[in-house]
Structure 1
Amino acid sequence: MADLEALETWLSPLLQKLDSRGRAQLARKAAQQLRRSQQQRIRAQANPDGSPFESRKPRDLRGKKGRIKRRMFEKLKMARYLKTKGTPQQAVIGFAGRVSRIARVHQYGLKDRAERGAPEIRYAKRQILGLTEKDRESLVETMLDLLTTDQLSKYDGF
């Protein structure tokens, strides 16, 4: 987080020279880029630090043999649920709708019921959203690329 605060301090004078439309466009681009990296990380079933997600606990399927055929969070990574929003003040990535509860439970390792009538269990902490070092570096590069191209050419002093 300290890296992001330093980045914000360094970029804020440049961002102030952009109009609100330009800042919103920059925030949208950054959010979309982060969504792509989060989707790839969810697909790889990895936490931001590179460690794999804790595997599912085996479920009693009343004598049924077999395996769980889908990876965890397969649908959560879809753009339909993983929403982005860019405003002049911020870039936001988050889950929309009913899936936000599922994501929150796994993100923080909270208690929840797997099904109606089932006992409440504590889920393992799996960081679905989070910034990796590669994400931070890529954000800096994207910001600099966008700020040094045609965005700033129309302003005095650049």
Structure 2
Amino acid sequence: MAAHPLDALAGWAGPLLARLTPQRRRQLMAEISTTLRQSQAARIAAQRNPDGSAYEARKPRTIRRGMFERLRTARFLKKAATAERATVAIDPRAARIARVHQYGLRDSVDWRRAGSPTVRYARRELLGLSDADVQAIEAQLAEGLTA
């Protein structure tokens, strides 16, 4: 089983973060969650998975809107921070759609109508850490710990 990209980071940053006041840790986590939300939104807009690969193309449609256009807004892509953690998550109102695409699950085309056809959606990782995200977190932690 591969190690999580943040395990090494937690090893060196954890003891140093413990020395900060809870208020300063929360402030630093808020800055990190803002950076992560912005990078996740930009990656979703670029239709890229965290590893840099492109999302699988959707079937052609006559009416074309940007894929996940509303999902990447601050209204649905929520950030939160405490003294212990920084998080970015999909709002519960949009979680059903996000989960189906994140994991490539089966779902009905129009879940609000009974008898709607069911299809398997392509896997499109909406949330995840890229190498650039991990480097940005490291840089923010290093800067925050030296300030």
Q: Deviations over 1:77-112 (max 9, x none)?
A: 000000000011111110113211100110001111
Counterparts of 1:68 and 1:20, CA distance in 2: 50
1:98/1:131 CA distance change after superposition, 3 Å: same
- Percent identity reads 46
Question: Structure 1 segments of 4 or more deviating over 6 A?
Answer: none
How many residues align? The count is 142
d(CA) in 2 for partners of 1:137 and 1:97?
29
Q: CA deviation at 1:58?
A: 4.1
SS in 2 for 1:14: helix
What residue in structure 1 maps to residue 49 of structure 2? 47
RMSD (Å) for aligned C-alpha atoms = 1.3
Change in CA separation of 1:95 and 1:52 when aligned onto 2, cut-off 3 Å: same
Answer with 1 or 2: which has the greater Rg: 1
In 2, the alpha carbon distance for the partners of 1:14 and 1:29 equals: 17
Secondary structure at 1:75 match in 2: coil
Where does the alignment leave 5 or more consecutive residues of structure 1 unmatched? 60-66, 150-158
CA distance in 2, matches of 1:28, 1:95: 17
In 1, Cα distance between equivalents of 2:51 and 2:63: 26
Give the alignment's TM-score, normalised by structure 2. Answer: 0.91
Residue number in structure 1 paired with 2:145: 147
Q: How does 1:33-112 map to 2 (within 5 A)?
A: 33-58=35-60, 67-112=62-107
